Every structure is written in structure tokens, then in C-alpha cells.
């Protein structure tokens, strides 16, 4: 389920030392997240039919050196996340550990966007 509990776990799981873009990794290593909104921009995106088709939810997160810059956050659903969502199970177990997928976070500082790839 995409809810406050999942968003809190996602917030604490973000490790900016493991972002995909090597060019900005140095600048972002001291970033931290001060919250992920559990209310997406389009609430219809929470419908299973839309998750199955679009495989993503777009919300916002507070990220930066002080954790207070607003970033558009695209949360992409992998197979396990889609299955869990379909069965009304927790998405927390779909958050990759950095040893499982070290590049599960894509950060676009200049555009204030972040992409997260769930399992």
C-alpha cells in the first residue's frame, strides 16, 4: 500500500551516496530527505489499474542539504511492487537495499527531480 508508513520508510531508506549519476554524486552525498508526501499529485494514480498501466506514482519529497527543497519524486514500480499493490500488501519490502541495487535512486538536481525504482 502507498501510505504514510511506506513513505516514512522510503524517506529513511534514501542514501544519496548511492545515486546513479556519478557527475553529481559528490555534491549530493550530504543530501538527506525530510519527508515524502503520501498524497500523490494525481490521486487517481493510486488506482490499481493506473499502477498496472503506468507503473509509477508521482509525488513530492523534501530533499537537499537541509532537507527542505521540494523535489518531484517519481516512484517506479517493479514486478514485486505491482504484485504487492495488487494484493494490498506493504510496499516497504519492495524498497531495495543498497547492496541489492546500488543504483535504485536517480537524482536530477538541476530539475529538482528524483526517481526511485522499487523491486
74-105 pLDDT tens trace? 999 999 999 999 999 999 999 998 677 778 99
Q: What confidence tens digit (pLDDT) does each residue in 12-22 have? A: 999 887 676 77
Cell for 21? 549519476
Q: What confidence tens digit (pLDDT) does each residue in 27-75 have? A: 787 889 999 999 998 999 999 999 999 999 999 999 998 888 999 999 9
The count of domains in the chain is: 1
CA angle 1/94/3 to nearest 5° reads 25
Domain that includes residue 62, residue range: 4-117
Rounded Cα distance, 77 and 116, in Å: 9
**Pairing mode of beta strands 69-76, 113-117:** parallel
Amino acid at each position: 500500500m502507498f501510505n504514510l508508513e511506506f513513505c516514512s520508510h522510503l524517506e529513511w531508506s534514501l542514501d544519496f551516496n548511492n545515486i546513479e549519476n556519478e557527475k553529481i554524486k559528490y555534491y549530493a552525498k550530504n543530501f538527506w530527505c525530510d519527508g515524502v508526501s503520501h498524497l500523490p499529485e494525481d490521486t487517481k494514480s493510486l488506482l490499481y489499474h493506473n499502477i498496472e498501466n503506468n507503473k509509477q506514482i508521482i509525488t513530492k519529497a523534501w530533499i537537499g542539504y537541509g532537507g527542505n527543497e521540494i523535489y518531484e519524486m517519481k516512484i517506479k514500480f517493479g514486478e514485486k511492487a505491482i504484485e504487492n499493490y495488487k494484493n494490498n500488501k506493504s510496499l516497504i519490502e519492495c524498497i531495495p537495499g543498497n547492496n541489492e541495487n546500488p543504483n535504485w535512486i536517480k537524482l536530477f538536481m538541476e530539475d529538482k527531480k528524483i526517481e526511485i525504482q522499487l523491486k
